[in-house]
Chain A
Amino acid sequence: MKIPWPFFLAWKQLFPSQKKVSFFSFLAVVGVALGVNVMIVVVAFMKGFQHKFREDIIDAQGHARAIPLSRTKEWPKLQQELLAQSEVLAVSPYLQGPLLLQRQSYHSVPLSIGIDLSGGKSVLPLDEFLQSGQMRMEAHNAVDVTPVPQIASLQDDVVFVSQYVANRLGVRPGAILRMGKSKGLADDQLGVKVVQLGVGVPSAEWEIVYIGDNQWSIRSAGLDFNTTLKPKDGLLDGGPGTPTFALLSPFVEPEIGSVSIYQTFRSSTVEVFSPAMIERAQADEMVPPKEVRVGGIFEVPWQGFHAEAMIGTFRLLEDVRSSTGLCDGMFLKFSSQISGNEDTLYSFCEQLELPRSGDWAFVPWFVENAWFFDLLKFEEYLMILIMVPIGLVAAFAIAIALMTTVLRKVREIGLLVAMGGARVAVGSIFCLQGFLIGLLGAVLGCGLALLFICFRDEIMSFIVVRIAGDEGKSGVAQFYDFYSLNVPYPWESSESASTFLTFGLFAVFVSTLAGLIPAWRAARMNPADALRNE
């Protein structure tokens, strides 16, 4: 293939024969590459944050909420109607409002949500929230082996509270420690592990002893409890009020007499008052508070969710508010065909709302949190607004460097015209240099951005540890959760591909533009004057 001679000369001026790369080319290409890299990485991370917030919001409130516009007891009918639609995967009715929680002289007024779990699948992945909210105990010569609480343990006299409420009231869920006194088995492989700790398990010491013939004795001297069990489905369940254990290696028989010792701590209790109860108490009516146990501590990853919050059952909320048959709304979860696209979701919500207009409003998650995404978008545009002038400054630098080249090569330009080169072709050499710098810089910048995205955890850890130290790392990660960010590669998402393409093309365009002025100057040069130039 014949390469057009201006392209050949442009390439050779950037990458001369016998020399790998000119200093100017190296600096220009690296400059463009760094600019492209920074722009792509910043926008990709911003989009990663948006994506994460989106997932967190959907986790915290579902794809949409159905909100009654007036007090209605007709909601079970609507729930059934919604569940009958194939696009609706789950519906969770809820009650919500402020309740006063009291423990001794400590108070908290969290936003309390009562969820109806009787309808099967819940919209909210509460188990995930509980997992992140587990509070570990530290003790000498003992290990906290408390299993992560499950939403299944949510009963009418059990609540889950946010970390903030737990700290404010000084409450904790039940806990179980494996004591260092265990005999016969290695500490890290005791033969059994605790899989469930019901809220009703009292504070006591427990001994699990293998007595042979696949039989285990579970006893607690303080509680005057002693039972012998054979594992059922790999589990040792002594009934309500006892921890449930699972065999770690069902096919390995422990030595007879092997003992594991555990210490349980009963979960805290709190007293619950509703505004209605307080009003009645103010009217000198005897209103005993509702006493509930703390089943777990939860943390919702979405920062917009109330920090001071409590989750209980629907019936608990009904009970304390003395309002039966009402509901404050329903969390809705849709199939991916509906939820995957915001426009489709919006139309579907409109579709649901139309026949129930005036009674119910269906609000998609992104409408409810539009303020937050507007803020994020604004931040993203602001970043671009700051970075684009930086790109233009780089373009000016390229233009100046190419202009200097034109001035340095005046006689060469004259010679090329004398040899039969058209002026436009001679001028295009400098424009093409700008184009090549932009193109190579864009390719290198995209490559650097891919590397940055690929090794983002390592790079961020490196930076954060050097700024905040090992101790500060977890704090920073909690605030800017880089590690769980989903930053897709261009081949994984069209949005990411368009980010790469946009900034790559921007670099090529700006660099080519930077080469236009020197090109124009070279093209209008009189060859005879150029040849006379000293």
Chain B
Amino acid sequence: MNSSTVLQGKELSKTFRFGNENIRVLQSINLSLPARSSLSIRGESGCGKTTLLNILARIENADTGELSWEDRIMRCDRRASRNEVAHRANFLGVVYQAYYLVPELDVLENVTLSARISGGMNQSMIERAHSLLRQMGVEGKARQIPGKLSGGERQRVAIARALLNRPKVLLADEPTGNLDERTGGEVMDLLLNTCSQEGASLILVTHNLAFARATDQQTILTEGKLNEV
């Protein structure tokens, strides 16, 4: 693996079984993500984009293949070990279409949750959380609960949460899927700019061609194969 590559997948395959039918969603996928770069994955609904992201995040097993997070090489056909799970908290950030903010926590607590989970919660993390919320334009909402925020604001908070631990890679699964075009554009600009500022690489799953074009590498997942555009 190239020293500047932060994430690499080799020969990743995944088959789902529905009754007697086997559906092969990923076929020997090879993927390489250099540091401080961005990669987009497009594809039809149900083609396996989210599954690929889950495998890259080690929250789902592949049938075969190997995954590297910087120097850590992992077999993808077995469940993530405790060390891998602990490493994930600092190595990866995740942003989902549905935000998944914890409704009982206020905005600041939601953002700092990733630091709590990784065991790195301290005063400087709180300051960083404020700084990220400022960058996202929602600092004034720090003490509000997610239920009182708009969709765009919620996604900004989710991005701030994903970036708090200074992850090397940010996985974003259709982060603008629930937003209108204008708000989606704003959120995407923020996502790309902040990743660039923070030095995080980005893997973006999107249906939006314009957003995909804004990334360094553009790929399409078709019939289980990842093709570069």
Interface residues of A (CB under 8 A from B): 2, 5, 8-9, 12-13, 16-19, 22, 411-412, 414-422, 526-528, 531-532
Contact = CB atoms under 8 A, between A and B. Distances in A.
B117 A416 contact: yes
Interface stretch (B29-37, B98-106, B174-182, B189-197): B98-106
Contact of A420 (B102, B117, B121, B143): B117
Contact of B103 (A16, A415, A419): A16
A48 B59 CA distance: 59
Contacts of B47: none
B54 interface: yes
B114 interface: yes
Nearest to B116: A5
Contacts of B102: 9, 12, 412
Given A411-B98, A411-B100, A12 B57 contact: no
A12 B104 contact: yes
A531 B88 CA distance: 17
B131 interface: no
Contacts of B50: 531-532
B186 interface: no
A419 B113 CA distance: 9
A528 B60 contact: yes
Query: What 10 A-B pairs are tightest by C-beta distance, nearest first?
Result: A420-B89, A16-B104, A528-B60, A5-B116, A17-B106, A415-B100, A527-B59, A528-B54, A420-B88, A12-B104
A94 B82 CA distance: 81
A18 B144 contact: yes
A419 B60 contact: no
Contacts of B118: 420
Which of B98, B103, B144 has the most A CB atoms < 10 Å from its CB?
B103
Contacts of A5: 113, 116-117, 121
A420 B86 contact: yes
B69 interface: no
A181 to B, nearest CB: 82
Given A527-B59, A528-B59, A419 B82 contact: no
A420 B85 contact: yes
B106 A419 contact: no
In this complex, the interface size class of chain B, counting residues with CB under 8 Å from chain A, is 20 to 34
A419 B89 contact: yes
Contacts of B60: 526-528
Interface in B69-106: 82, 85-90, 92, 94, 96, 98, 100, 102-106
A531 B96 contact: yes
A421 B117 contact: yes
B109 interface: yes
A362 to B, nearest CB: 68
Contacts of A527: 54, 59-60
B114 A419 contact: yes
B203 to A, nearest CB: 14
Contacts of A412: 100, 102
A526 to B, nearest CB: 8
Given A9-B104, A12-B104, A16-B103, 7 more contacts: A5-B117, A17-B106, A17-B109, A17-B145, A411-B100, A422-B85, A422-B86
Contacts of A531: 50, 54, 59, 96, 100
A414 to B, nearest CB: 8
A419 B87 CA distance: 10
Contacts of B119: 2
Contacts of A528: 51, 54, 59-60
Nearest to A8: B116
Given A8-B116, A12-B109, A17-B145, A418 B104 contact: no
B94 A13 contact: no
Q: Which of A412, A415, A419, A532: most chain B CB closer than 10 A?
A: A419
17 contacts: A5-B121, A9-B102, A12-B102, A12-B104, A12-B109, A16-B145, A17-B145, A18-B106, A18-B144, A414-B59, A418-B59, A419-B89, A419-B113, A420-B118, A421-B85, A421-B89, A531-B54
A17 B148 CA distance: 13
A526 B16 CA distance: 15
Most B CB contacts (10 A, CB to CB) among A18, A417, A531 go to A531
A422 B58 CA distance: 13
B90 A420 contact: yes
A434 B144 CA distance: 27
A247 to B, nearest CB: 77
Contacts of A526: 60
A402 to B, nearest CB: 14
A532 B104 CA distance: 21
Contacts of B90: 420
B94 A12 contact: no
Given A17-B109, A18-B144, A528-B60, A420 B100 contact: no
Nearest to A411: B100
Contacts of B59: 414, 417-418, 527-528, 531
A456 to B, nearest CB: 39
A526 B79 CA distance: 10
B145 A18 contact: yes
A8 to B, nearest CB: 6
A527 B143 CA distance: 29
A509 B106 CA distance: 31
Interface string B57-68: 101100000000
A2 B116 CA distance: 9
A12 B116 CA distance: 14
B16 to A, nearest CB: 11
Contacts of A419: 88-89, 94, 113-114, 117
Nearest to B59: A527
A420 B114 contact: yes
A436 to B, nearest CB: 13
A411 B121 CA distance: 24
A8 B104 CA distance: 11
A116 B86 CA distance: 86
Give the interface centre of A8, A418, A420 by most chain B CB atoms within 10 Å: A420
